[in-house]
Amino acid sequence: MYTLALAFGPLFNAPASEYFGRRPIYILCYGLALPWYIGSALPPNLAGFLVFRFLCGFFQSVTLATIGGSIADLWTHHETGLPMGVFIWAATGGSSVGICLLSFVAEFRPWYDVFWAIMGISGGCYLLVVVAQMYCGETRHGVILRKRAARLRKETGDEGIDVAPEYQRKGFKEILYVTQTRPFRFLATEPVVQFGALYNGYLFGISFLLNGAFTLVFGPKGHGLSITQVGLCFLGIFGGITMFTFTNII
């Protein structure tokens, strides 16, 4: 359910960040994800657990949805290689490192303590996100221009100062319609988006299937390794990702 939510979350988070700005979407979505980790650790039943995991993935997908936009805001398309490489390294390597670290919790503690550990790590990361967003400020150019125009109108009293029509703030119903229908419209009508979505889905499928396959191959039913030893096997993936990331930079 968590992986399924990662597919649906960006359809809502990404367009919303285009209209409301990156900063509020980061802070809101990361903050809303935290309570559902508590629910995952204290589920009333299996159905509740699945719902909580879906909501965790939905709000945590803000990283996949908006990091690319933030990088495009800050760098020109000729300069995005390095920041995108670092992001992909963190996105792909983080899964391996997380499994390795949490395997120690899973072997020596009850299963629900894994989610308490994730809650603690995510809470610390959320504080870093809030501090970083408050320090760095908004990056979406349309939002910045609207705020600048509003400040100039207030300072000069000239109500004629405004941004270009495509950057002007629209009504809530129009914003809701545009942000929530555009992704599906593109997915249904644009071949580039369709093939890109299929390819990304294939890559994510391989990645998550590999995570599950490690336990089958190296675990008790395979080579007989313990949970912690299986987790340590994932460090090989992280090492390869790190090596090729630096190779790409060089």
Q: Which domains does the chain have, with CATH numbers?
A: 2-249 (1.20.1250)
Which pLDDT band, with edges at 50, 70 and 90, does 109 fall under? confident
192/11 Cα distance (integer angstroms):
16
Between residues 23 and 144, which one has the greater pLDDT? 23
Kindly report whether the global pTM for this prediction surpasses the value 0.85. Answer: no
Joined together, the tokens standing for residue 100 give 């390795």
What is each CA distance from 172 to 8, 99, 169, 187, in whole angstroms? 22, 41, 9, 23
216/222 Cα distance (integer angstroms):
6
Containing H/E element for 57? helix 46-60
Segment 153-163 shows an average pLDDT of 71
What is residue 171's predicted lDDT score, i.e. its pLDDT? 65
Asked whether the predicted pLDDT for residue 236 surpasses 80, the reply is yes
DSSP state, 165? G
DSSP state, 167? G
127/30 Cα distance (integer angstroms):
10
Positive/negative CA dihedral, 187, 192, 198, 202? negative
What is residue 163's predicted lDDT score, i.e. its pLDDT? 65
What percentage of the chain carries pLDDT values higher than 70?
A: 92
Segment 159-188 shows an average pLDDT of 71
3-state secondary structure of 105: helix
Which pLDDT band, with edges at 50, 70 and 90, does 233 fall under? confident
- In a 10 Å sphere around its CB, with 0-12 CB exposed, 13-18 middle and 19+ buried, how is residue 6 labelled? buried
Residue given tokens 């555009």 in the structure block: 182
Report the candidate in 94, 59, 64 with the shortest Cα–Cα distance to residue 200: 64
What is residue 154's predicted lDDT score, i.e. its pLDDT? 74
Asked whether the predicted pLDDT for residue 104 surpasses 80, the reply is yes
* Cα–Cα–Cα angle for 89, 68, 212, rounded to 5 degrees: 45
222/215 Cα distance (integer angstroms):
8
Contact 105, 118 (CB under 8 A): no
Segment 33-59 shows an average pLDDT of 88
Q: What is the dihedral of CA 201, 39, 123, 100, to 10 degrees?
A: -60
Q: pLDDT tens for residues 174-209?
A: 777 777 787 788 888 889 988 988 888 888 788 788
Which pLDDT band, with edges at 50, 70 and 90, does 249 fall under? low
126/42 Cα distance (integer angstroms):
21
Segment 227-246 shows an average pLDDT of 84
